[in-house]
Structures are given as structure tokens and as C-alpha cells.
Amino acid sequence: MIRPVRSHLSWIKPRIRLVEVLSFCAFLIVAGFCSPSWAADYTASSCSASAIQSLIDNPSVVDGDRIIIPPGSCTWGPTDTLAFRNKAVTVRGAGALVDKGANGQVIITVQTNAATERTIDLGGTGTSAKRARLSNITFTDAADSDHGVWMITLLGDPIIGTYAGIIDHLTVNLDAITDVIHVFGGSGVIYRNIFQAPAPGASVNYHSQHAAVRCKYPGLAPPDARWARMDTFGTADATGDNQVYFETNDVYYMPENDVDDGCKMVFRYNTFTNSAIASHGNDSSATGARAIEVYNNVFQCAQLGDLSAWIYARGGVWVVTDNVLPRSTLCALGGPAYPTAAGVGVWVLNSGGTSCYAGPYPARHQVGWGWSGGSVDDQVLDPSYYWNNTDGGGGAADAPSIHQPVEGWACQGCACTVPGTPQDPHIFLQLNREGFLSAKPGYAKYTYPHPLASE
């Protein structure tokens, strides 16, 4: 029999105490980070996927409850998966939370293959007040896991009536598995995690182009429909649910953190070591990114590597401010070059994907253009802004610069055959039109930490 552990009040002056407590918790529930008074803790019989899944599926476990994984080490095989099934429960490793990453009491080794693709589905919930949550677990992958797969899917988007959950205080050490999290939605909070891939070593090549997070959108709704949304930069996101927030994480040796498929995403207060942020455009992607905020992050290099840029934009509207973007020759094969602070390109002008674009200006969903409010294909000039970024040595970071791929980047050397191509990217990207080296008018950062990042 499952026996929940519930919290009880000491009923001193019961009526007054009841009013005070319920009023305070009602406020927190509205804010989205308090469980109602009936929330319960259930302890899984082990750290196996089946033991945890049986509690998620148990009808006695309801929205707002927590499933505690007992201390121990487990291996999840290729067929072991965990699905939250749109239930707003927390799955959490035993013991108190530490400042960042897991406390090490629960360690799970994951084996994946191309058939299962991912291990955990963190489903969206039907209300913003309660969220699915994954917390305080150390994950590592088995050496025989397949490449090209990811570990966690974060689902949920208010435009289809669901709300994505919370991923926090994980320590994830990946070798074979390529990506940690794929976001298939438009909300959610990922905070105080440690994501680490193997250091590049003597070869200086990054293993399988790891990513801590990729924001994509296959299958849930047409990506173009999600691209066709108005900006919600900073405090314009009144609910904190109109963008994906990736904050206060440490990311090591993962150079392909990527925004695509109409996603709107905020990267803030993270440390990226030998790691970078990028977006897709309407080139190898059918849609490309919608909007990205990057602020108060530290980018740094700890070991010899080969990064072309700390930030690279192929699509979307960007706000980039208050970051440390160093001129580190260590991250560019030892120099004399160093990673570009912020690179920008219009890859559709080059061959490959849906490319060899012959015009006219602007290109579809290119950097510095957003939705006009009309059809999904209607766009309007919506400039990006870049300001107050530093080089970590007391000076200003370099300004953004145009960086196009070499011709034939996606088709093994083929050249554009459409008359008039490839075109000069400077026709499509101009300072004080697509982008400004100044503060975005009226912009104010969204409250930090996010209200859902309550622990």
C-alpha cells in the first residue's frame, strides 16, 4: 500500500492560522510556485525507471505531489523510459538541494538507442499553476549508447493549451548521447543544472556537437504558426510563460545550444565553458528561430578548442546585453584568431538546404525581421540589439560581424546555380537597420530568478 507523507499544521488558534496560511499559499499558487495543502510525498521503491513510472501512473498520485527517488545507483536500459503523461508531479532525488547540480545521492546511468531516441518525456500540464518537475538527479550515459539522440524532452506550449515543466538541479555527464534536452514547446524553466560533455582533448574537436538544450518543435503544431507570434522580450512576457528560460546553469564543452522552429528563448546568468549559443534560420530549417535574449552570461575557455563564435545568429530577433565575450585564442586552436563575439549570417544565400536564394530582400525569417501580425508569412523589420557586452578584461566586447559559411556548406562543394546567387549578405544585413549597437528602446529584463525557480 502506498502511504504518502503529508505535512500538518499545529492548530494553534486554528481559524486564524488557517486563514493566514491559505491566503499566503493562494498567492504563491497564483504565482505558480506553491503546491496546494493536499500535496503529498511518495517514495519510490528504487531508482529504477519502472519503480518511478509505477508511481506516476498510480491514480493516488495527483497533481502537486512529489515522487522521491531513494538514494542509490541504477542503470536504465535502452527500453527504460519515463513519461510524466501530462501529470504535474515532481520527480526528485533524495536529500536536500545544493546550490547547483545534484547532491549525488541518486545516480542513474542511461543507455539509449536510435529507436527510443530519448529517455524522459516531461509532459506539459493543462494549468500554469502546477508543473511537472525533474530535480536533483545525477545522470550519466553508458559508453554503448547511440549517438544522435537526446535524453529529456520538455513538452508544453500555451498556444496549444499546455504549460511546460521545470528541470532543475541535475548533474548530467554525457559522452555518447548528443543532447541533454530537446524543448518541444514554448514555455518552461531550466535552472541550476550542470551539463558536461567530455573535453575535446588533444584532437580539439568537440564530440558529436553536444548541446545542453535545443529548442525545436516537431509534431505538436506547425512551426510557422509558432513563429507568427509577437515579441515578448523582457517584462513584456507578463506571465513568464511565453518563452523558454534557461538560467543559472553551468555548461561545459557543449558548443551547439540551439534555437529553431519558431522558438522564443532566454539564456541568462549562465556560465558557458567552451560552449556557445546559436540559432537556425530558414535555410536548413523550414522556419528558424523567432526571438532570443542572451544576457548576464559568462562565456569562457578552459581548454584548447575550436569555436568560431560565442553567439551565432542565422535567424530570429536578438537582444544581447551584459555578457562576457572574451577574445580567447585558446578556444580558436591557440590563435592568433579567437571566437567572434557575435556572428551573423544569412545562410539561405548559400547552397544547401532550401537555399540558393535569389531574392528579393528580405529573406524569409532572417535575422532582424519578425512577425507583422498578418499571415504566418508576413514579416516586418524588427531589429536586434547588442550593447554593454564586455571582453572580461576590462574592455568592451567586439561588435557583431557578418560570417557566412563557405560556398557549398551543406552539399559537399556544390555551387548556387540560380542566376544572381550567391548574393552579398551585406544587402540583407545592415547596421542601424537589422541591428543596433545600443539598448533596445523600452526594454527591461524579466524578473530574476524566474518565479518558478523557487528552490
> What angle is formed at CA 384 by the lines to CA 362 and CA 270, rounded to 5 degrees?
135
Instruction: State the greatest distance between any 2 C-alpha atoms of the chain, in Å, as a whole number.
Output: 83
CA distance 116 to 151: 10
Name the DSSP class of 163.
B
**Is pLDDT of 286 > 90?**
no
pLDDT digits (tens, 9 = 90+) for 205-227: 554 578 999 998 765 556 788 89
Kindly report the pTM of this predicted structure.
Answer: 0.90
pLDDT digits (tens, 9 = 90+) for 304-343: 888 999 999 999 999 999 999 999 999 988 888 999 999 9
Mean pLDDT of 432-454: 97
**Is pLDDT of 35 > 50?**
no
CA distance 57 to 404: 50
Q: Which three cell numbers stand for residue 309?
A: 563564435
Contact 347, 404 (CB under 8 A): yes
Closest to 325 in 3D by CA, of 272, 246, 254? 272
Return the pLDDT at 13. 36
